[in-house]
Every structure is written in structure tokens, then in C-alpha cells.
Amino acid sequence: MLGETTDDDDGDDEQKAPQTAAGELADAIRTTLGPNGLDKMVVGENGTVIVTNDGSSIVEWMDITHPVGRLVEQAAAAQDSAVGDGTTTAVVLVGALLEGAARLRSDGLHPTTIVEGYGRAVETAVDRLEQCERDLRSRHDDRLADIAKTAVTGRWDDASTDRFAELTLSALQAVEFDTSKLTLKSYPGGELRESACLDGVVVDLETSSTSLETLRDPTTRSHDNPTIAMVDAEIGIEEPNRIESVELQNATQRSAFQDHEQDRRTELVTQVTRSGATVLLCQKSIDEAVRTALAQRDVLPVERTRRDEFDVIARATGSTPVMSVDELTEDDTGSVESVTQRTVGTTQTLVLQGCPEEQRASLLLRGGTPHVADEVRRIIADCIDVTRVALDDATYVPGGGAVPTALAMDLSALSRGIPDRTQLVFDGFSAALEAIPRTLATNAGTDPLGTLTSTKQRHDNGTETVGVGPDGHPCDMTDAGILEPTIVFKTALQRAVAVVTQILRIDDVMQTSADDRTTDAGHDHAHTAAGGYPWAVGH
Ligand code: ADP
Ligand code: MG
């Protein structure tokens, strides 16, 4: 569909029928569905190029201009934020349901009849879905790894997909499935297999710009059972303009001034050591001489700790941040089992392990380049989301189009008993569900009709868990460990029907004149659309 031109290719794509606009979006996305989905290259306004086959990212990055295309985009975004997966599925279903509706209309059915029929069909399908689902036994159910893997199949090679699932589950188990206690960090340099899950908090020293000179001192590399003090303000001697403007008349005054500075530094260092702190985390900068003096007294000074990390450390270690070193007492300090300096890739980090107040974990993800490291992080984030979604609902279904195939077969069987025209709508709905296994077969390079027919045959013979395998041929999804949270397909189907209903009820897209005082941002781009597509990239 990309690069293709249409008759009404006059650059004014708002004139397009609503159904056509949404259908074209579905066409563009279809080729990315499943483990064999192709990548899309999305070119941004400033020339940035993103290559991905993640449907949600593509829809998000495409600058969709047609108002109906935007309805589909919103549905996809809602699907993504609700369950974190199933976006492409939802968009493909929208395309197929609209195609079905177009056929039904040409057979003389009124849009209202189609809308009502689709409504009944989706209710029936969702009820029937319960027969396909299985319960997750516990948080340690082996099926969770399969679910995590299925969610990201095709995004990386198979060996890495196993590793992603493994990292995801070990991290989730480390924080007892409470993701608010988990930090994801990606570091360019190194390989995926060097990624690791650590119990504790990791602070990047590069972003905190801590003096590495001090830290390189071997005596400060690792502290066992350190006492942590935290200061939420700059640590140094106050030398604002007031002091600068003092004219130092002679050597005596100069040395008195230097003495004052020295005394103040000593006071600060004494205050820190008196509190018993062996690690001092400061949210702002620490005077260089103070830093050196602290290091000499075996106190590790860390400056410019990021605000979010600072807050996490305070909670996890039980330290109370103070606004000034002068206020610091033993009561304000916290503790951890160990603090270690560690180099990850090219980044210096500080690892605080064994936090007493809050069990925390950090996933340190590695990738050769910043782009790879970021993609690894997105994949892991998706694995984590899908695992949580599966646990929330505690049910899963076979993937690879096994469920839409089973539902399609049921609906078409049911339709035979419907006496009125709704029968045709049920058949149309059933055919639209088949778009999922068909598309998976097409994308894997096998004949969609042949694959669908033999898949259905195996369902007829009693194996309802058969779907389209990664090689494009029918296989039992449960045996192959291709599993998904029930909620992913369920909401994708419900959202698709909701947006299709909305579109079918639209008779026409009306444009207001340019000097109309409309505030709808959608109109801003209306006339800049390129190529007759419902969307355009890079304007
Ligand atoms: P979505 O944005 O809808 O999640 P994906 O590109 O992730 O789109 O594809 C999801 C579809 O691919 C689902 O139907 C899922 O069951 C199927 N799928 C995932 N992994 C496999 C696999 N290994 N073999 C066959 N189908 C798979
Ligand atoms: Mg997916």
C-alpha cells in the first residue's frame, strides 16, 4: 500500500470515504502482524528514522491526518495503554470488519442493521471466549514465560526472546511482582546476554557527575554495611556575591578569609563524620575540597543524584534527607548491606544492595548501541506489562489466531439458526475474525486459504488450540507455548467493533470553511496530507 496511488489522489484526503481511510490504515499495518511481520521504516519530520514492526509504535509515530484514521489511531492507543499489546490485531480487525460491512452494504443492508448485528456478534464472541481460556495457577506458573515470549516474538531473535522472558520473570519475582519497586536501566555497550537483574538500587554516576577521581580511589570502591546520609541541597561554603565583594586589603585579611573557608569545610566534614555516615548522597553539588576531605575520612561523596533516584534511595535505605549538613544527625541516616562502584558498559554506577526498608531490584539492560539498548528496554517493558496483565486477569488463551478461528467457526455455525438478515452480518463478522489467521499465514509466506482450511479442519477434529505457527503452518499453540493473556484479544476485538460502529454511523466527513472558528486541531493538517493516504509522515 505504501507508494501506491489512487484515483482520488489529489492530496486532499479528507474527501475520502470514512471506510476507505480506515481500511488503508489497516492495509499499511497488516504486514507487521505476528512473528513474521515485516518492519516499517517511519521517517520523522526532522529526518529521524525508526525501523520497527511494533504496530503500536507505528500507529503512534504515523502522523495520521484523516479524521477517521485518527479514530482508529485513538482506539489503537487506548488498546496499547490498557493492555500494552494487541494493537496491530485491533487495527487489522477494524480493516476486516469494515471490508465486511462494505460487502454487506453492497448486498443492500443498512448500516444500522450491520451495527446491530456486529454488536450481537461481539457479545456472543466474548461469551464464547471463556471456553478458550485457561487459568494461570500461580505467579510461578511456567506459562508466564511463554506469555512474555509470545508478546515479543519477532522483535528479536529466538534466543534473545528466551532471555527477555527470563530477565522479566527474575526481575518481577525479585520485587514480588510490584513493578513500582523495579527500575529499568539500559546501557549502551556490551551484549544482551550481559544484562542482569540486581537486588537494590543503581545510581548512574555519569548523570550525577560525581567526581570519578574520588571514586577511583581504591579505598572507596566498596563499602560493607555503610551508613547513608542524604542532603537535599548544595554542600559547600557559602560564597555568594556578599563575600566576593569584600575587598581583601592585606595578607592578614586574606589569610583570615582563607582560614574562615577552611574552618567551614572542616565543620561540614566533621558534621558528616559525626553522623556516622560512610556514604553521603547529595542532590546538588559538593564542594571539591569537601569531597576530597570526605574521601580521606573514608566517606564516599556522591553528588547530583537524580531527583527520582534520590527519593527512591531515601525510601529504600530509611534515610531522611536534610536541607543542610548542619542539621545532619545520626537519626537522619539510613543503611544498606553494601555499596559498590561498578562499571556497566561505559557508565560508572553505584549499586546499593540489600535495602532494609524496601525490597528493590534494578534490571541493567545492555545493547551494543544506544538504539539497541533502548529497543531492549522497550521490549522488556512490554514483557513486564504483558506478564502483569496476564496475572491481573489470571487467564490465558492460545495465540497464533487459534482463538479468532474458534470464534469464527462458532459464529458461522450460529448464524445458520438466525432467521433474518443478521445471519449475513454474523457471517461477515466471522469472516473478519478469520483475517487474523489469514494474515499470520500471509505474513509467514504460506497460502492463507489453505492454511485456514486445514486449521479449521483440526478444530473440527477437536483440537481448538490449533493456530498458525511461526512457520505459517497449523500447529497446536499450547504445545508450542504460544500463549497470550485472554484480555489482549478480548479488548482488541471489543475496541475494533466499537470504532467500526462509530465509523459506520458516520455518513460523511464534513469540512468547515477555513475562516470558521473551529478549534479542532484535526483540521490544522487537513490540507497538508500527502499522497492520498489517510496519514502522512513528516509534516
Ligand atoms: P499485536 O500488535 O496485535 O500484538 P503482533 O505483531 O505482536 O501484533 O502479533 C500478534 C499476533 O501474533 C497474535 O495473534 C499472536 O498470537 C501471534 N503470535 C505471536 N507469536 C507467535 C508465534 N511464535 N507463532 C505464531 N503466532 C504468534
Ligand atoms: Mg504483540
**C-beta 168 within 6 A of ligand 1:** no
483-501 tens-digit pLDDT? 999 999 999 999 999 999 9
Domains and CATH numbers, the chain: 7-135+396-504 (1.10.560.10), 142-199+364-393 (3.30.260.10), 203-359 (3.50.7.10)
Atom of ligand 1 nearest to the CA of 436: 14
Q: Whose CA is nearest to atom 1 of ligand 1?
A: 86
Q: How much of the chain is in helix, strand and coil states, percent to nearest 5?
A: 50, 15, 35
Beta-carbon contacts of residue 522 (< 8 Å; ≥ 6 apart): 67, 70
205-220 tens-digit pLDDT? 865 555 544 445 544 4
Most confident stretch, 28-32, 340-344, 394-398, 517-521: 394-398
**Distance separating alpha carbons of residues 31 and 483, to the nearest angstrom:** 21
- The CA 166 to ligand 2 mean position distance, Å, reads 18
Q: How far is CA 243 from the centre of its chain?
A: 51
pLDDT at 219: 44
Q: pLDDT over 70 for what percent of the chain?
A: 86
**Distance separating alpha carbons of residues 225 and 352, to the nearest angstrom:** 10
**Distance separating alpha carbons of residues 149 and 175, to the nearest angstrom:** 20
Beta-carbon contacts of residue 262 (< 8 Å; ≥ 6 apart): none
**C-beta 404 within 6 A of ligand 1:** no
Atom of ligand 1 nearest to the CA of 399: 16
Helix 111-129 and helix 87-106: axis angle, to 10°? Answer: 140
- Give the model's confidence band at 422: pLDDT under 50 very low, under 70 low, under 90 confident, else very high: very high
Q: Whose CA is nearest to atom 7 of ligand 1?
A: 34
Bigger pLDDT: 44 vs 356 = 356
- The CA 238 to ligand 1 mean position distance, Å, reads 61
- The CA 134 to ligand 2 mean position distance, Å, reads 20
Give me the amino acid identity at 347. T
Backbone angles phi, psi at 385, to 5 degrees: -60, -50
**C-beta 117 within 6 A of ligand 1:** no
- Give the model's confidence band at 6: pLDDT under 50 very low, under 70 low, under 90 confident, else very high: very low
Which cell numbers in the block locate residue 93?
Answer: 480487525
- The CA 152 to ligand 2 mean position distance, Å, reads 6
- Segment 42-47 shows an average pLDDT of 76
- Segment 513-520 shows an average pLDDT of 51
- The CA 478 to ligand 1 mean position distance, Å, reads 14
**199: closest CA among 221, 220, 172?**
172
Nearest listed ligand to the Cα of residue 439: 1
**C-beta 303 within 6 A of ligand 1:** no
Inter-residue contact 365 to 376 (CB < 8 Å): yes
Atom of ligand 1 nearest to the CA of 32: 6
Inter-residue contact 214 to 287 (CB < 8 Å): no
158-211 tens-digit pLDDT? 889 999 999 999 999 999 999 999 999 999 888 888 999 998 999 888 655 555
Kindly report the average pLDDT of the chain as a whole number. 85
pLDDT at 236: 87
pLDDT at 153: 87
362-418 tens-digit pLDDT? 999 999 888 889 889 999 999 999 999 999 999 999 999 999 999 999 999 999 999
Strand-pairing partners, residue 397, are: 484
